[in-house]
Amino acid sequence: MRGSCKDLRGSASRDPAGPPYLCLTPAALGPGVTSDKKEYPMRYRTLGPSGLLVSELCLGTMTFGGSGGMWGQIGQLQQDEADALVKAAVDAGINFIDTANVYAGGESERILGQSIRNLGIPRDDLVIATKVLGVMGEGPNARGASRAHIMAEAKASLARLQMDHIDLYQIHGFDPLTPITETLEALDTLVRQGHVRYIGLSNWAAWQIVKAVGIAEARKLAPILSLQAYYTLVGRDLEREIVPMLQSEGIGLMVWSPLAGGFLSGKYSDGTSSNEGRRASFDFPPVDLERGDAAIAVMREIAAAKGCTVAQVALAWLLHQPVVTSVIVGAKRIDQLQDNIRSTEVTLDAEDLAALDAVTRLPAEYPGWMLERQSQYRASHLPQKG
């Protein structure tokens, strides 16, 4: 599943250890939205153990809809604004869009589905991902990963999206009450019925994912293709257990909040929180300010040398990580989205990556340091990379 690939123009992959990819122009996606905008070097990678190609950037739709509470703070984009963002994303070659049933109480799915219709984008030109787990009603079964909730919410999501199938259906978190087997069998039913093409997980621990993979294999259920998780330069906890597991199992990684809730946007520095931006009202995910400020200082130097932004450095770092399949980027304005898309043009050399790693590297933790020590006994016999 991993391997060295070349894009269609013959240039070597900047990430030869990562998932196979193709590099296409937006026009090559099909007869969808056309554009005279600049062609970004968008790459397409296979999602986990499948032949499904998804763009290395995925449009996030958490900003679609919402009029109050958390969703009002995050988004409030209405139909015409969402249409413009979807068009800008497709113009740039993005074919992957992520949403969830809980985003703005279902409004995000509804607005996204209508945007695709308004813009006349052929359904098969896009890979639509949504999620299920959160509270969608008053009853005790209107939440979780039970068969009852999954089947009901899949039907509801399809209605809101105005679609006959979901390309990637993800369990939005771990449900400690429902047996994993019940969850996986419900997802397999949806795949066999044609309502869902592929399945994924989000915010699961490594042991939970491996257990699910084993159950799916033993029972010959639909395989798990992907994990959606938080991963940034200032949030590298994933590297302790989850990244090695994903690489071992060949599971794809979709990254949410790649700018750490705006912390890596370049708006914040020296332990201060701005009165502008999302973190002013929704300070999430948590960030160690001391380590974060040190990281931003190095990122500013790299950005200045390359003529790009701090945010583009943050996104480019993720795109250089072999485990990453697609990075989810959301926005409220077209210029924000286009700035994020330009991260695909930023190349970080070995010196840049080493500097970023040095300032953000996690401290050694057991059993990691012991595993590394003992693995040296036979390291000389391991196959050489490259």
Q: Letter for the amino acid at 247?
A: Q
Half-sphere exposure of 354 (CA within 13 A, CB side): 3
Give the integer Cα–Cα distance in Å for 90 and 80: 16
Looking at the annotation, which residues are catalytic?
103
Kindly list the distances between the CA atom of residue 135 and the CA atoms of 101, 102, 173, 296, in Å, as whole numbers in the listed order: 9, 7, 12, 36
Burial 238-270 (b: 16+ CB within 10 A, else e): beebbbebbbebbbbbbbbbbbbbbbbbbbbee
> DSSP H helical segments within 220-364, as ranges?
238-249, 289-306, 310-319, 334-341, 350-360
Which 3-state string (H, E, C) describes 225-245?
A: EEEEEECECCECCHHHHHHHH
Q: Shortest CA distance to 10 belongs to which of 1, 19, 23, 20?
A: 23
Are 105 and 111 within 8 A, CB to CB?
no
Q: Shortest CA distance to 202 belongs to which of 167, 220, 238, 228?
A: 228
Helices 147-161 + 107-119 axis angle, to 10: 40
